Structure 1
């Protein structure tokens, strides 16, 4: 399958340059102009896609040549291009940061990189930064840049004059409160918590329109093969999934895979619901249980239902925030201790700084589950892990605890990377971790 569509990779020299809000504002600008915009996010990220979905009005999927695989990157983009008018991909960190980097994805798909450069406190050096990005890799062309947070019209003119031949200033965005969005320790505030998000996005889109950023990027031709359907390994299996302000870190692709394998999905809120849906298996994904620990601890009916599910040795997956809810106690940022599910002995305690970050994999006899870790809490437990993830990049590997039907870890998995393993977890089937000397089953 082949498609040709205007597309751009919105990137930056590094984090904090404003690319997330620029991407969201561009999506809203073109959506308001009547175009169908599909947005994707490079790398493991839950929070930016929430905002990008509101901005575009369309589902947002992750693209990462290692985590999701190159073939899936190609297919997601080509599939989206069948009925979209524009594709935007938000990069992660700086253009060349990480392995694989945003630049690697741009090169794989032939999508031009469009850096957003924070120009505060910068004049002619702006041109040097743009030239460095443009000349760093011969297969990653940079022909246009966006200046962000400029101080005046004259400032924008100085930046334009600083650019070398062959690099155009596509637009210069002034400092404006509309171009910001609140954040917290794990990233942006969740989209569902911002009651005025639509108004913020419309205002940001107007800012971009005023500086001439309403044009379409050049068309890109892409080609991909449609993947084979996954095996129907979860036919008739009912999976209840926690989803609310405390448990919200869920990849769309994970839900798609479970349904494609035949699972029946239902959702519940551990914060407000009084009972679980009828289910054969349970999934507690990551999120912010530390911000809602008091409300979670007070909802004894649903906590009791989860305990009964565990005591019946039914399958249960707990990822990161879900793991934190499984222990006896959770200590929040203020030092307050809250009673949790008590399925595992020990305590999860919020720390003053990041405790783990990076790409990881869980290698087993049923497949290699790829994903990442990113958390600000520490776990103390007497349980010994059945397995440990393998560090691909970043901090140390994460323990994976298995007891009864429970599989719990700080590790976030990308389910399509290992369908057989994921189906086995939700069916309560044991897996065997591979040693470092054994070959991976990718």
Structure 2
């Protein structure tokens, strides 16, 4: 089994509870695998820091219901304990675009937009739910909240609740008295003074690799976890049962992956793929990196903040992150900017998403209005602003790209506070002869209603640059095509810096 940590809404302390549980399990010497519902990159970084194992995202919009099951089974096959951190409130999801599981009983007034919600994942994996409730402004009403969440969907099994931000012993007594008739176990109580605040900024928490005092915070979380939870009841819920025959089949590489891997790796030589990875670029799904390696890629991690472009590359992968926060330092790496631009001009296959897209622009204008030079492969300036662009996207490729064929449809996610301003170039300013829109995209989340579609991203020859983040788990054809194109590219020789 494993346990799903859910919240009655965003901000109730799911991540604090999750990290306290993970830290406590690790202090006991247990191997534990964590998962995160949804497309988030930052929470999984904290999970990985605690467990020493990559956290895996469970998102049936970006992948599929079948892939979610396969991913969960594969990565729990060799561990003792597992935990799934939910997203937003328990039933907060999106419309399924016809992919939703059928409703079993018409008489139940179930949410219409809970595809990819925490509840959906709990049903899909048949896991019990531990509901976290923010009690800072509650006493007797906690019973109504708990009863409502437990009774809304009879397909869900609730293991218990965690009371967070409890103010005093008297406050706890009132909460316990209110909950007693429901006979739902209280498996954890976190006091208000125990509340730990992790620093955040415009896209959520500050990533784990930027925090200098994270070990001290985790020590406190482990102490809280040791003393605030009912471990006698929690450990059996978190412990992974022996894999069944049906689950075991998910632990093997899917046949489609094997066929694609054999097709790509006709030669014995590895495909050298440069992966930008540092404090400015660290939004990567571990599954994507694993798939690339399984298809024969040699991942060469390097830092656009401080490194030169590695030698003998056949492709480049720029993930998302915070280039706007580190724009000054990126702009001062004067050796790598022209080298990346030259590689793109030479036809090297390049995949860039969100922060990577911004890095390839002419400039970034940060929140303070300062302008910083970037690679200059795209005739645009990325300008930071207050408006948050957020939500799932259904996007159809308008042209052939290094990853997609024209007409193919993908599902991705956008999450950024920048907008692109196109620049007018004169003469030979552009290194790209033909630059065309990449996608026609529509929103499928409650935050952005579906419309006629907008043009999104850019493509030219072997460049694929977009704000849309993709997970390749259910569509390995995309990274396979990318590596095929990389394999045809002669190793790039950097003529900008021969030293």
Matched, 1:187 2:204: yes
Moved more, 223-232 or 284-293: 223-232
Superposition map of 1:240-319 within 5 A: 240-319=274-353
Matched, 1:100 2:110: no
Alignment partners' CA distance in 2, 1:398 and 1:375: 17
TM-score (normalised: structure 2): 0.81
Alignment partners' CA distance in 1, 2:455 and 2:177: 50
Superposition map of 1:125-204 within 5 A: 125-163=141-179, 164-176=181-193, 179-204=196-221
Alignment partners' CA distance in 2, 1:73 and 1:345: 38
Q: Deviations over 1:351-392 (max 9, x none)?
A: 113123334445654854432111111112265403223433
Alignment partners' CA distance in 2, 1:198 and 1:96: 33
Partner of 1:432: none
In structure 2, relative to structure 1, the CA distance for the partners of 1:152 and 1:355 (3 Å cut) is same
In structure 2, relative to structure 1, the CA distance for the partners of 1:284 and 1:212 (3 Å cut) is closer
Partner of 1:350: 384
Alignment partners' CA distance in 2, 1:399 and 1:155: 51
Consecutive unaligned residues of structure 2, counting only runs of 5 or more, are 94-114, 398-403, 424-434, 487-499
In structure 2, relative to structure 1, the CA distance for the partners of 1:387 and 1:326 (3 Å cut) is same
| Rg larger for | 2
**Shift of the alpha carbon at 1:284?**
1.0
Alignment partners' CA distance in 1, 2:278 and 2:442: 30
SS in structure 1 at match of 2:293? helix
The answer to whether the Cα contact below 8 Å between 1:25 and 1:202 also exists between their aligned partners in 2 is no
Q: Of 357, 382, 392, which aligns to 2:444? A: 392
Consecutive unaligned residues of structure 1, counting only runs of 5 or more, are 430-442
Moved more, 42-51 or 377-386: 377-386
In structure 2, relative to structure 1, the CA distance for the partners of 1:258 and 1:414 (3 Å cut) is same
In structure 2, relative to structure 1, the CA distance for the partners of 1:355 and 1:275 (3 Å cut) is same
Alignment partners' CA distance in 1, 2:122 and 2:388: 29
**Shift of the alpha carbon at 1:400?**
2.5
In structure 2, relative to structure 1, the CA distance for the partners of 1:242 and 1:376 (3 Å cut) is same
Moved more, 394-403 or 415-424: 394-403
Q: Deviations over 1:52-84 (max 9, x none)?
A: 011222221111223232222222222233332
In structure 2, relative to structure 1, the CA distance for the partners of 1:416 and 1:126 (3 Å cut) is same
Aligned-residue Cα RMSD (Å) equals 2.0
Partner of 1:422: 479
SS in structure 2 at match of 1:352? strand
Alignment partners' CA distance in 2, 1:402 and 1:28: 44
Partner of 1:433: none
Moved more, 193-202 or 90-99: 193-202
Partner of 1:43: 38
Alignment partners' CA distance in 1, 2:76 and 2:201: 34
SS in structure 1 at match of 2:61? helix
Partner of 1:338: 372
In structure 2, relative to structure 1, the CA distance for the partners of 1:61 and 1:143 (3 Å cut) is closer
In structure 2, relative to structure 1, the CA distance for the partners of 1:12 and 1:398 (3 Å cut) is farther
Q: Deviations over 1:269-315 (max 9, x none)?
A: 00011233421000111100000001001101011110110110111
**Shift of the alpha carbon at 1:15?**
0.7
Alignment partners' CA distance in 1, 2:240 and 2:324: 44
Q: Deviations over 1:39-63 (max 9, x none)?
A: 1001101000000011222221111
Partner of 1:401: 458
Partner of 1:205: 222
Q: Deviations over 1:137-191 (max 9, x none)?
A: 0101224110111111221121121114231211210123663211111111111
Alignment partners' CA distance in 2, 1:186 and 1:9: 24
Partner of 2:112: none
SS in structure 2 at match of 1:50? helix
Partner of 1:77: 72
Q: Deviations over 1:227-259 (max 9, x none)?
A: 323412543321101000001100000000001
The answer to whether the Cα contact below 8 Å between 1:368 and 1:417 also exists between their aligned partners in 2 is no
Alignment partners' CA distance in 2, 1:378 and 1:198: 36
The answer to whether the Cα contact below 8 Å between 2:276 and 2:301 also exists between their aligned partners in 1 is yes
The answer to whether the Cα contact below 8 Å between 1:12 and 1:93 also exists between their aligned partners in 2 is yes
Aligned residues: 424
SS in structure 1 at match of 2:375? coil
In structure 2, relative to structure 1, the CA distance for the partners of 1:139 and 1:244 (3 Å cut) is same
